[in-house]
Chains A and B, each alone.
Chain A
């Protein structure tokens, strides 16, 4: 299974008590140390100031306004500390929100996932770890919608290349993509080069910079 890690310290913010408890249980089960679990954005900021966690997992909509308090708190936290890992959970795909968050800090250690992903517990925990380790995780559905919205510039990509791009955006390495698509890593590399060429993006070996470049490119079209 997974190699032993020192426990990642998490502050969790979610206004639904049931889900908050469930999430806290899930995090504990996967070896995270839950420093605090709170129910609104103010308490989140206070808890982060107090506990200095490695990771913040927050719902986007929270009391009092149920607008984007959680997201704004997350963006503020990232501004104060660009290295703080933040994963935002959203009820539904909201492209402008994901953009706000992905633009914050250095664009690394950030995740935007749909709330329903938490039920695939192992995948969810893996996503969190990826973010803590410096990755960028964007929900596949968000990526799909981004690609749909920007249909025209991406129209040149083959279906296979789009699949690869979506997996890149999820933060998968070339090796992981190769396993998922049951192809060789060399093939994945070829697809990646094809994508970067078609989208006129600079070649680089850094996955995250690639992801960000792609996302920035996709957003920049809007």
Chain B
């Protein structure tokens, strides 16, 4: 989480009030601008509230019965909930901008991004997130408090400027005039009030900054994302970065496989072929021929080992032909008879394919090694955004995924991409290992 550097300049109007020379900065003017521009905002906030407010007024009228009151209150609240957001959503955006007048810190929206394009998902997201309703609450408060607060503020200002100007007005002989509770008839009477008002004049900017600052603090609390939402956003980000890591890891494996295949493997095949040719040109039975024959055998052995190693890093057939073909090859390599039933209308993303493949490979290895199974079955399906790969064997069962088989590591890998690894292995069998990986499919597999 980024922490703000120690403030060199005050970030808000409230903070600026505590500084000397506050009156010489721009803050009083900014506070004034904020207070003035609040008036149209408050008016706009009243637009969706007019009808519900009327209902609430009726609810508190003396001649309404209890049931009627409750009904009116609920109805008003419902209307406010329906009519409010269309006005308060854009208004909140404006309000976060306007906040900069008295608060230099950025205010980020607490709204989530809709899960999918289109009006439906947008509406669902907006209705179910707290930010929308906090914004509505803010504007309800503004609509209710601003008229009262600003009326009082205006009265104070009128009184102060009236008092300051009173001696001059009375010199014109328009007396007597009322200064709030007192009446003054002559300039001389008015002079102490005028002096007091002039002495108190510097307090006006402080008063404005106080009002604007208080409102800004309220706006800040209600209009920007809360700590819970931030935590959620960060969690999502962490998950995404983990998925990115897995993706990168998988891409790296594919790159290593390709480099080995295009480099070492090709050269080894060419070398082995040369040794094979060299054998032919040596007299049979000579020591040289035997040596070259040995070398040829070694090279062939090495070719096999390297092919297995590279295949373990990432099977070429998986990159080239996709999951269904790779599962078929996996079945062919297994020491068990394995039936494969893979029916996928397209190709999952690479890292999902890889995870599914290695999970199936691990499950088949376990089936062949530990279960005493006579046969196994691999099924791959994609349905409703979830790829499901299932490996079933008719062995003795009793496999425990926690017993440090390779399945534990696979479960982690599966979890990272939001998938699930399920193992069912009752004593006496059968064992079923099932991987569910949420993903979308890309282009249909090449024919």
Chain B, range 420-443, C-beta contacts under 8 Å to A: none
Chain B, range 236-270, C-beta contacts under 8 Å to A: 262, 266-267, 269-270
* Segment of B112-120, B197-205, B273-281 in the binding face: B273-281
* Segment of B19-27, B38-46, B77-85, B313-321 in the binding face: B313-321
Is A119 interfacial (CB-CB < 8 Å)? yes
Chain B residue contacts of A92, Cβ below 8 A: 316-317, 329
Chain B, range 301-349, C-beta contacts under 8 Å to A: 303, 307, 316-317, 320-321, 325, 328-329, 331-332, 337
Could you tell me if B332 and A121 are in contact, using CB atoms closer than 8 angstroms? no
Chain B residue contacts of A67, Cβ below 8 A: 320, 446
Question: Closest approach, in angstroms, between the C-beta of A86 and any C-beta of chain B?
Answer: 20
Task: Name the one of A93, A121, A145, A149 contacting B273, with C-beta atoms under 8 angstroms.
Answer: A121
Is B300 interfacial (CB-CB < 8 Å)? yes
Provide the bound-state CA to CA distance between A145 and B303, in Å.
21
> Interface 1/0s, chain B 264-296, versus A by CB < 8 A?
001101101111110010000000000000001
Is A22 interfacial (CB-CB < 8 Å)? yes
Is B299 interfacial (CB-CB < 8 Å)? yes
Could you tell me if B321 and A116 are in contact, using CB atoms closer than 8 angstroms? no
Chain A, range 94-143, C-beta contacts under 8 Å to B: 94-95, 115-116, 118-122
Q: Which 5 residue pairs spanning A and B have beta carbons closest together?
A: A121-B276, A119-B272, A22-B270, A18-B270, A145-B332
Provide the bound-state CA to CA distance between A116 and B307, in Å.
10
Is A73 interfacial (CB-CB < 8 Å)? no
Could you tell me if B273 and A119 are in contact, using CB atoms closer than 8 angstroms? yes
Chain B residue contacts of A91, Cβ below 8 A: 316
Chain A residue contacts of B446, Cβ below 8 A: 67-68
Provide the bound-state CA to CA distance between A151 and B307, in Å.
26
Task: Name the one of B270, B275, B276, B332 contacting A93, with C-beta atoms under 8 angstroms.
Answer: B332
Closest to A29 in B: B277
Provide the bound-state CA to CA distance between A33 and B274, in Å.
19
Take A93-B332, A116-B303 as given contacts and tell me if A22 and B280 are in contact as well, using a CB distance cutoff of 8 Å. Answer: no
Question: Closest approach, in angstroms, between the C-beta of B269 and any C-beta of chain A?
Answer: 6
- 11 new A-B pairs (CB below 8 Å) besides A68-B446, A119-B273? A18-B266, A18-B270, A61-B320, A93-B332, A94-B325, A119-B296, A121-B273, A121-B277, A122-B276, A145-B332, A148-B332
Take A116-B307, A119-B269, A145-B332 as given contacts and tell me if A66 and B276 are in contact as well, using a CB distance cutoff of 8 Å. Answer: no
Closest to B340 in A: A149
Is A25 interfacial (CB-CB < 8 Å)? yes
Interface size range on B against A: 20 to 34
Chain A residue contacts of B316, Cβ below 8 A: 91-92
Question: Closest approach, in angstroms, between the C-beta of A187 and any C-beta of chain B?
Answer: 28
Take A22-B274, A25-B277 as given contacts and tell me if A118 and B269 are in contact as well, using a CB distance cutoff of 8 Å. Answer: yes
Is A19 interfacial (CB-CB < 8 Å)? yes
Closest to B332 in A: A145
Chain B residue contacts of A23, Cβ below 8 A: 273
Chain A, range 51-79, C-beta contacts under 8 Å to B: 61, 66-68
Question: Closest approach, in angstroms, between the C-beta of B271 and any C-beta of chain A?
Answer: 9
Is A26 interfacial (CB-CB < 8 Å)? yes
Chain B residue contacts of A153, Cβ below 8 A: none
Question: Closest approach, in angstroms, between the C-beta of A37 and any C-beta of chain B?
Answer: 14
Task: Name the one of A19, A29, A148 contacting B269, with C-beta atoms under 8 angstroms.
Answer: A19
Provide the bound-state CA to CA distance between A119 and B272, in Å.
6
Chain B residue contacts of A93, Cβ below 8 A: 329, 332
Is A16 interfacial (CB-CB < 8 Å)? yes
Provide the bound-state CA to CA distance between A28 and B77, in Å.
92
Chain B residue contacts of A29, Cβ below 8 A: 277, 280
Could you tell me if A22 and B320 are in contact, using CB atoms closer than 8 angstroms? no
Task: Name the one of B262, B269, B277, B300 contacting A115, with C-beta atoms under 8 angstroms.
Answer: B269
Provide the bound-state CA to CA distance between A144 and B331, in Å.
12
Question: Closest approach, in angstroms, between the C-beta of B429 and any C-beta of chain A?
Answer: 21
Chain A, range 20-41, C-beta contacts under 8 Å to B: 21-23, 25-26, 29
Provide the bound-state CA to CA distance between A23 and B273, in Å.
8
Provide the bound-state CA to CA distance between A68 and B446, in Å.
9
Chain B residue contacts of A25, Cβ below 8 A: 274, 277
Provide the bound-state CA to CA distance between A145 and B340, in Å.
13
Interface centre among B328, B332, B446 (most CB of A within 10 A): B332
Chain A residue contacts of B280, Cβ below 8 A: 29, 121-122
Provide the bound-state CA to CA distance between A51 and B351, in Å.
45
Chain B residue contacts of A19, Cβ below 8 A: 266, 269-270, 273
Provide the bound-state CA to CA distance between A120 and B276, in Å.
6
Chain A residue contacts of B274, Cβ below 8 A: 22, 25
Chain A residue contacts of B321, Cβ below 8 A: 94
